[in-house]
Structure 1
Amino acid sequence: MKQYWNEVQPVDSFTITMNGILHSHDLKIITTLYQPLMGPICTSFYITLFNKIENNRIWSEEWNHYHLMNELSINLEEIYHARLKLEGIGLLNTYIKNEEQSRSFIYELNPPLSADEFFSDGMLNIYLYQKLGQSHFSRLKRGLSDNKLDTEQFHNITRDFQDVFESLGASSLTNIDVREVKALEEGKEFFRREKASFIEIAESEFDFDLLFSGLSEVMVPRKLFTKEVRAAIAKLAYLYSINAVDMKKIVLSSLTAEQEIDIEEMRKAARDWFQVEHDGKLPQLVDRSQPVFNRESLQPPVTQEDRLIAYLESISPRQFLIDLGEGTEPSMSDLQAIEEVMFQQKLPPGVINVMIHYVMLKTDMKLSKSYLEKIASHWARKKVTTVKEAMELALKEHRQYQEWANSKKESTQKRKKAIRTEQLPDWFMASQNQATPAQQEETTTDFAERRRRLEAIQQKYKKNGGEKGGTN
C-alpha cells in the first residue's frame, strides 16, 4: 500500500483558514507565475480551498477529503501530491490533529509573493525563466508592471495629520475605557494582510565550515557573512548545485572595493558559473529524490528486493552515480545525460535510478545517452512512476531493450574476437528462472571490475536495509 494512505484518507476532515486576507491579484500571481512551476492541479487545489472561505470570513466550514476528490475530479494521491507541492513552494501550511477514531486537518493558505518580490527572488524567478523561455518570461513581466509616473517636476504638498486635525484634549476622553477600545472578544482575531514569506533553504544544507576553511580571515572577515549573506549562499548553492570549493571563488568575485559581499553580484557570478558548466542552460525545478507518494517500499524492508527498492527510492540519481563511483564525482557528460532525460520525459528520480542500474549493466558501466533516451521515452509513454513498476517493465520488455542495445553495437561486436553475453541487475535475475551459465559468465577483467562497484552497492543495501540519505 502506498505511503500517502498513511498520511491522509478520504474520510479525514479538514478546515481551511487564511494567513491574512487574499486579493484577486494574488490569484492572478498564482496562475501566471506559480502555476508553470507547480502545475495546474496545485493551482486548482489552492483556488478551490480559497473559494470555500466565504466573504468576510477567515475560516471555512468543515469538509472531508472525499468531497474534495469529487469536486476536483482527482484521486487522493493527486490531492496529497498537490498539497506537498503547495507546502514546498510556500503557499500552504498544514496542521493535523489525531484522535482515537478520527483525524482532522487545518489547511492554512498563505499569500503569494508580489510580482516585485517574485521576480527578484533569486530562485523562483530563475526556475520560471528556464521553464518559459525569455520571450514568455518578458511578456509576463510586462503584464504585471506599468509605466512609472515621473514626479520629478512635481512637489509634494501633502499635509500632515496635525495640520488638518485638532485634538480637544483629555477632557473629551473622560468616559472612554482605553482597554475596551483595544480589546477583542476572546477567540476572535481581526482581518489582516500578512506579508508573504520567501522560500528559505536551511543553512545546514551547505558546508559553511569547508567554505570558511578556504577563505582567509584577513581577506574575507567573518563579519561580512551576515544572516542575509549566509541565506543567499545557501539558496544559491541549492539552486545551482554549487559545492563549498566552487562557492569560494564566487564569494571572492562578489567582494566590493569597500570590502563587502555584494549579494546581487554573487547571484550573477553563480548564474554565470552554472551556465558555463551546463552549456548556457539554467536549472529546472524537479523532485530531488523519489516523491513520497510514489514510494512503495515496506518499512522496514523485509526481503532483499525490498531493501534495494528502499535504497533506489531514497537517493537522488546524482548520489547514486557517486555511490557507483565509490565516492568520486560523476562526469559532467553523465550528469547532463541524466538531467536531460529527467527534464524531457518527466520521470521520477527513483525510476531514473532503476534505468541507470539497468543501462549501466547493459553497456559496460557506461551511460549511453541515446539508449537512455530510448528507454526513458518508452517508460514515459507507459506512465511509469514507481521503482517497482520500472523493474517490472524492464523485465517484461527485456527482449525489446536487448534488440535496441544490439542494433547499436552490432557493427562493433563483429570486429571483436570474443563476444560477452550481457549482464543483468540482481533484481532482474531474481525474477528470471531461465538464466543460463553463459548469462552469468564474466569474460573480461575490466568489465568484472566495473560491475563489482555496482554489485557492492547492491550488497551494501541488502545488509543495512537501504538506510541511505537522499541528498543531491
Structure 2
Amino acid sequence: MEHHWKELIPVDRYYVSCKTILQEFDRKIITLLYQPLIENGAFSLFMTLWAELEENRLWSEESTHHSLMGLMQCNLHEIFRQRLKLEGIGLLKTYEKKENDVRHFIYELQPPLSPDQFFNDGVLNVFLYNRVGKNKYAKLKRFFSDKQIDSIQYTPITKSFNEIFKSIHPSEMVSNANDEIIEQLIPQEGNNYINNVAKNEPTYLQEAFNFNLFFAGLSESMVPKKAITDKVKDMITKLSFLYEIDPIEMQKITMSSLTMDDKIDIEKLRKEARDWYKFENGDRLPSIVEQVQPITQRTMNDQQVETKEDQLIKQLELISPKKVLMDLADGSVPSAADLQIIEDVMVNQKLLPGVVNVLIYYVLLRTDMKLTRGYVEKIASHWSRKNIKTVKQAMELAKQEHRQYQTWANTNNKKRSASTKKPVRKELLPDWFVEEKQDQVSEEKVEEVDFEKERQKLQERINKYKGNSK
C-alpha cells in the first residue's frame, strides 16, 4: 500500500514560478553537475516544469497533475518521489493551499549553485566525485573553470557614477511631475520586478545533529563557544551527514581545527573530517543513497502496530541497510565487502533501502550469517524484476518464493560442501514465515520459531562468532 495519494492526486492544481530568470548556463550546471546526483527522473521533472515556466517567464499558467503525468508519461507516485529529490537538493520549493477539497501548489524553481559554490560545497562535490569518477570529475572542473590573469600589477581607473553624471536641478523638472514619477517608479499592483536571487544550497537541518551532546562534552577552555559560529555549525551539520560522524567524534575533530586565535578553520575542519572517514573506511568515499525507506513507500506511517510482523515492518522502514547490518552484528561496523555488496544491489538493481533491509534480514538467517554475493544478487534481481517497492511486498514475495530461494541456497550449500565435506545446517527463517498457512505442504519442513526465541538464537550465534574471532 502506497501513501503518495495522501499528498497528491491527479486533480490537484499547480503553478510553476521562479523569482529570477533561469539562464542557459543554469541549464548546463543542472545537466552536468546535478543530474548525476538526482538521476534522470528528477532531472526530467525539473526540465518539464522549467519548460512550462519559460513561456510566461516568472509564472506559468495553472495546470493539473494529470496533465503533468501525460507530459512525463509516468505515474503520480513517481512524480511525487522525484519532487522530493528536487526539494532535498535545493532546486525546488513547494507551497500548498487547500480550497474546496482541492489542493493548489506552487512549485518555485530555485536556481542552481554557481560552479564555484558547487565545487566548494563540501558535500555535493564529494557525492559528484563518487558518482562520476576521477576522470569525468576532472573534465567537469575544467569545463566550469577558466584561466586567471594576475591583475595585481594593474591600477584601477574606473570612474564613479557622480564623476560622470549629475542630477537635474529642481527648476528643470516639470512642476506636476512628482506624483506621476512616484507612481511610475513602483510596479503595478500584484506584480514584482524580475530579480536576481541568491543561489540556494540544499538545506541540512541542524536538528539532525545533537548539538546539546556536542557542547556538553566540549570544555569552554578548550574550544570557546564563540568559536562555534553559525557558519561553523552549518559545516558541522554537513560533515556529520556526509561522513556519519557522531557528536563525540565531532568534538575531537573540532578541537583539532582550532587556530591559535581561538577560531575554527573551516577548511581544516573539512580536512580533519575527511581524514577521520578515511581512517575508519579506507579510501572509499561516501555514496549518496537514501538512508532509509522513502516516506512515500512506507506502509506503517499511519497504521497501528498490532502484530510482531507489523513491528518488524515499521522497524525496517525507519533504519538504513547499514544500521540493519550493525544491529544484527550487535553494533559491530560492517565489513567493507558486505557494504559493497549492499551498495551494488541498491545501485544496480535499484532496490529501495527498506526492501534491501528485508533482503539482508532474510539472507543472513538463511546462510549462517554470511552475505554471499551470488545469492544476494540472485534474489535482488528477482525482486527488481517484480518491481518490489515496499517492505511488506518484499516479505510477501519471500514467503511465496521460499521454495525457489531454498533451492538456490541448497545449490550454493552443495557447492561449498563438495569442497569442505561438512553437513549442511538446518536453516533458520525470519519470524514472518510463521504466519504461512498450515495447509501448505513442503518437501522440506521449515523450522518455525517465535520472534523472541529467534532473536535469542541469532544473538547467541553472533556471540559465538565473536568469541571465535578473538
For 1:287, the aligned partner's letter is: E
For 1:31, the aligned partner's letter is: T
User: Given the alignment of the two structures, is residue 403 of structure 1 paired with residue 407 of structure 2, yes or no?
Assistant: yes
Does the 8 Å CA contact 1:130/1:284 hold for their aligned counterparts?
Answer: yes
Give the CA deviation at 1:137.
Answer: 0.7
User: Given the alignment of the two structures, is residue 385 of structure 1 paired with residue 392 of structure 2, yes or no?
Assistant: no
Q: Count the aligned residue pairs.
A: 449
Give the CA deviation at 1:358.
Answer: 0.8
Candidates 352, 356, 360, aligned match of 1:356: 360
For 1:258, the aligned partner's letter is: D
- Measure, in 1, the Cα distance between the counterparts of 2:188 and 2:379: 64
More deviation, 104-113/140-149: 140-149
For 2:87, the aligned partner's letter is: E
Residue in structure 2 matched with residue 253 of structure 1 by the alignment? 256
Residue in structure 2 matched with residue 44 of structure 1 by the alignment? 44
Candidates 218, 221, 232, aligned match of 1:218: 221
Give the CA deviation at 1:230.
Answer: 0.8
User: Given the alignment of the two structures, is residue 450 of structure 1 paired with residue 450 of structure 2, yes or no?
Assistant: no
Does the 8 Å CA contact 1:17/1:109 hold for their aligned counterparts?
Answer: yes
* 1:57-456 equivalences in 2 (<5 Å): 57-173=57-173, 175-177=177-179, 179-297=182-300, 299-301=302-304, 304=307, 305-324=309-328, 328-333=331-336, 335=339, 337-410=341-414, 411=416, 420-433=425-438, 434=440, 439-440=446-447, 449-451=456-458
Does the 8 Å CA contact 1:337/1:369 hold for their aligned counterparts?
Answer: yes
Give the CA deviation at 1:275.
Answer: 2.4
- Measure, in 1, the Cα distance between the counterparts of 2:345 and 2:255: 34
Secondary structure of 1:176 counterpart: helix
Secondary structure of 2:33 counterpart: helix
- Measure, in 2, the Cα distance between the counterparts of 1:422 and 1:373: 19
Query: 1:273/1:432 Cα in 2 relative to 1: closer, same or farther (>3 Å)?
Result: farther
Secondary structure of 2:188 counterpart: coil
- Measure, in 1, the Cα distance between the counterparts of 2:31 and 2:14: 24
For 1:263, the aligned partner's letter is: I
Q: Deviations over 1:96-135 (max 9, x none)?
A: 2222242221111111111111111111111001000111
Give the CA deviation at 1:298.
Answer: 6.9
- Measure, in 2, the Cα distance between the counterparts of 1:373 and 1:279: 25
Query: 1:233/1:20 Cα in 2 relative to 1: closer, same or farther (>3 Å)?
Result: same
Does the 8 Å CA contact 2:431/2:448 hold for their aligned counterparts?
Answer: no
Query: 1:59/1:453 Cα in 2 relative to 1: closer, same or farther (>3 Å)?
Result: farther
Give the CA deviation at 1:232.
Answer: 0.4
For 2:320, the aligned partner's letter is: S
Query: 1:214/1:343 Cα in 2 relative to 1: closer, same or farther (>3 Å)?
Result: farther
Secondary structure of 1:422 counterpart: coil
For 1:162, the aligned partner's letter is: N
- Measure, in 1, the Cα distance between the counterparts of 2:164 and 2:190: 38
- Measure, in 1, the Cα distance between the counterparts of 2:33 and 2:39: 11
Give the CA deviation at 1:189.
Answer: 0.8
For 1:148, the aligned partner's letter is: Q
Residue in structure 1 matched with residue 467 of structure 2 by the alignment? none
- Measure, in 2, the Cα distance between the counterparts of 1:124 and 1:345: 24
Query: 1:447/1:8 Cα in 2 relative to 1: closer, same or farther (>3 Å)?
Result: closer
Secondary structure of 1:193 counterpart: coil
For 2:358, the aligned partner's letter is: V
Query: What is the TM-score of this pair, normalised by structure 1?
Result: 0.86
Does the 8 Å CA contact 2:257/2:269 hold for their aligned counterparts?
Answer: yes
Does the 8 Å CA contact 1:22/1:193 hold for their aligned counterparts?
Answer: no
Query: 1:97/1:213 Cα in 2 relative to 1: closer, same or farther (>3 Å)?
Result: closer
Query: What is the TM-score of this pair, normalised by structure 2?
Result: 0.86
Give the CA deviation at 1:47.
Answer: 1.5
Does the 8 Å CA contact 2:433/2:448 hold for their aligned counterparts?
Answer: no
- Measure, in 1, the Cα distance between the counterparts of 2:256 and 2:134: 27
More deviation, 375-384/181-190: 375-384
- Measure, in 2, the Cα distance between the counterparts of 1:258 and 1:341: 48
For 2:240, the aligned partner's letter is: A
Does the 8 Å CA contact 1:364/1:447 hold for their aligned counterparts?
Answer: no
Secondary structure of 2:53 counterpart: coil
Query: 1:314/1:68 Cα in 2 relative to 1: closer, same or farther (>3 Å)?
Result: same
Secondary structure of 2:258 counterpart: coil
More deviation, 332-341/381-390: 332-341
Secondary structure of 1:9 counterpart: coil
Give the CA deviation at 1:153.
Answer: 4.0
- Measure, in 2, the Cα distance between the counterparts of 1:312 and 1:337: 19
Structure 2: give runs of 5+ residues left out of the alignment: 462-470
Give the CA deviation at 1:378.
Answer: 3.5
Secondary structure of 2:178 counterpart: coil
- Measure, in 2, the Cα distance between the counterparts of 1:210 and 1:371: 42
Q: Deviations over 1:57-103 (max 9, x none)?
A: 31111111111111112221221111111111111111122222422
- Measure, in 2, the Cα distance between the counterparts of 1:6 and 1:261: 45
Give the CA deviation at 1:35.
Answer: 0.6
Secondary structure of 2:14 counterpart: strand
- Measure, in 1, the Cα distance between the counterparts of 2:447 and 2:249: 43
For 2:426, the aligned partner's letter is: T
- Measure, in 2, the Cα distance between the counterparts of 1:393 and 1:55: 48
For 1:200, the aligned partner's letter is: T
Give the CA deviation at 1:435.
Answer: 7.4
Does the 8 Å CA contact 2:21/2:57 hold for their aligned counterparts?
Answer: no
Query: 1:80/1:453 Cα in 2 relative to 1: closer, same or farther (>3 Å)?
Result: farther
Query: 1:77/1:441 Cα in 2 relative to 1: closer, same or farther (>3 Å)?
Result: closer
Query: 1:450/1:170 Cα in 2 relative to 1: closer, same or farther (>3 Å)?
Result: farther
Does the 8 Å CA contact 2:366/2:428 hold for their aligned counterparts?
Answer: yes
